[in-house]
Each structure stands twice: as C-alpha cells, then as structure tokens.
Amino acid sequence: MKKNILVTGGAGYIGSHICVELLEQGYDVTVMDNLSNSSEEALRRAEEITGEKLRFYQADIRDRGAYEKIFSQNEICGVIHMAGLKAVGESVREPLLYFDNNIGGTVVLLEEMTKHNVKRIIFSSSATVYDLTREECLTEQSPLGNSTSPYGRTKLVIEQMLTDLYHADESWSIVMLRYFNPIGAHESGRIGEDPNGEPNNLMPYITQVAVGKRERLHIFGNDYDTPDGTCIRDYIHVMDLAAGHWKAVAKLDAPGLSVYNLGTGKPQSVLEVVHAFEQANGLKINYTIAPRRAGDAPKYYANADKAKAELGWEAKRDIGAMCRDSWNWQKKNPEGYR
C-alpha cells in the first residue's frame, strides 16, 4: 500500500514541485492549503504532469475542524509542513500576523498530529535561522539567531519548538530542512513561481522584466564587500529542493531529530544571476542599482555535505538550468496561473 503524505502549503511554489516529486516517487499526496498565496491550478497541473491524482483540502493550518476531516478520511503516515507566510518586508510591518499564522498554525498542526498519533514531520525551514553576521559558509552547526525579520524568527521558534517536542517525546520523527534560495521551475513549464503583486525574490523579478511586465530590475546595493559589489547567495533549483524532501521522507521511518541544509554550495552574486539568465536565454535584462535593503547580509551559502552523506542527496542542476527553466515557465505563463 502506498504511503500517504500530507503536504501543508502544497499548492504554493515549492509545495507544488514537492507534490510532483512525491507523486512520481509513488506516494499518495494529500494537500492542505488556504490558497492565500497559491493556486489550485498548480495542483491540477501537478496531476497533469505526473498522471496521478492527489486529494486537496482548502483550509487554514489553524483550522482544527479541517484536521479532523483530513486525518479521519486519509491514512496519513507523515507530514511535510510547508504552509506559512514568507514575505520578509510584510513580516516587519505585521509581525503579529506572522507569529499567529506561522507559529500558532504550527502549534495547532502538532497538537492535531499528536491527537491522531501521526508523529512524523518534515519542516520547511530556512537559512534565515542562522546568524548571518558570523559565518559565510553555513553548516548545520553554525550559530543560530540574530534574525533581521519576524519571518526569520518564526522559522527559528518553530525549529526550537520541534526540538523541545522531540526531547519531551522521543517517539517523534522530525526532520528540519533549511532551504537556501530556491529558483527555477519544473522543466515542463507547467508549474513555477507565481508571486502575488511585486515579487520579493530575485528570479521572478528578472523573468517579469524579461516578459515585459516590469520595466527594469532593481538591484539593492552594489557596494558590498563582494567581487562585483552585489550580494551573494546560494541559489538552488526547486526540483533539486523537491528531491531533498523525497529523500528526507525515508528518515521518518525511525524516531529521531535531524536537520539538513539544502543548497548547492556554489554561490552566485545578484549580477552573476542576471548575466547567467541573459546568457542562458539570449535576452537582455534592464536593471538599475538601488539603495541597499536593511538586513541584507553580503554573502552566505550552504555546506550541504551532511545531506549528501546521510540522505544520499545533492543538487544536480546548475545556474544555467535554473535560468532556462525559470524563463520557460514565465514565457509560457506570462500571467502566472491566472
């Protein structure tokens, strides 16, 4: 019998790619998503790509009644917890919203999982949990904290909550995956990143300029202590990230608490990504230099050796593939899923 994985936030950018990966690897998939920053169309297309069906519940992660339905109607063996608000700037303006949704929603999820005796969870964490002022090459043992945003603090609090939960009840199986900078799209061009309003991330901004939705890209600061003056990040293809989750599901078979970085270890500057996009797609991107954004660290990237050693996972796609797949998605879907 197939194992059934509940994916909270499964209709979002990363979640929909994870659903494709799980379906292709032979899992049953149940999705819970309130569609506040996602589209049911992404799930329909995930089914189209894989030729497999999934079950969808439109519900908020704070909705206890929804969990009653989900856990009673499906034999859930584990949860991939993706659901959460994720805009750094918005979290600075509305911190209580982020604490209520991200932390409060996770408390409700964990209580309902405990009630239904489903004690296996993979948590979608982030490199923002690290103290980015201390080290550039980040291992799972690098110092944590000193986040520049309420969004980053919610990730850290949830990690600490999961750690405390495991120490209180060692029958839990918990894997925390710290993402670096996911970009790209499924190679079919059927699913990809479709932000509401102005993009918060670099790649959808580049693709929207390329497709003519925006006049130019704003690069925030070119006076950092880096070779070309722009910030350096570890960009990872979203399908490599999705594969990391499939590999992590196997860790849920035994009780334990694990944490892994998911990144390439091969960082690129903002300008390098722009030029890689131009080269990969034969396009020119208009850009202008804007003032620095508060809280941007000059450079950080992943050491993902632990994921390779323990999960048998490593990123396979290079920056060229990330740029080609991003543009393939955007040019086929100039208005996203709308």
Compute and round to an integer the Cα radius of gyration of the chain: 19
Please report where in the chains the tokens 């009644």 appear, as a residue: 65
- How far apart are alpha carbons 135 and 276 in whole angstroms? 26
In DSSP terms, 28 is beta-bridged to: 4
Residue 250: CB atoms within 10 Å: 11
Confirm if 22 and 246 have CB atoms less than 8 A apart. yes
Q: Of 315, 325, 224, which Cα lies nearest the Cα of 280?
A: 325
- DSSP code per residue over 211-233: TTSSS-EEEE-S-SSSTTSS-EE
- How far apart are alpha carbons 336 and 338 in whole angstroms? 6
* Residues with Cβ within 8 Å of residue 30, at least 6 apart in sequence: 4, 5, 6, 7, 54, 55, 56, 57, 70, 74, 76
Active-site residue, selected from the candidate residues 13, 67, 151, 260:
151
- With b meaning 16 or more CB within 10 Å and e meaning fewer, what string describes 324-337? bbbbbbbeebeebb
Residue 247: CB atoms within 10 Å: 21
Confirm if 16 and 40 have CB atoms less than 8 A apart. no
> What tokens appear for 272 in the block?
């390098």
- Is residue 301 part of the annotated active site? The answer reads no
Task: Indicate the pairing of strand 235-237 with strand 137-138.
Answer: unpaired
**Distance from the first to the final alpha carbon of the chain:** 37
Residues in the chain: 338
Annotated catalytic residues are 151
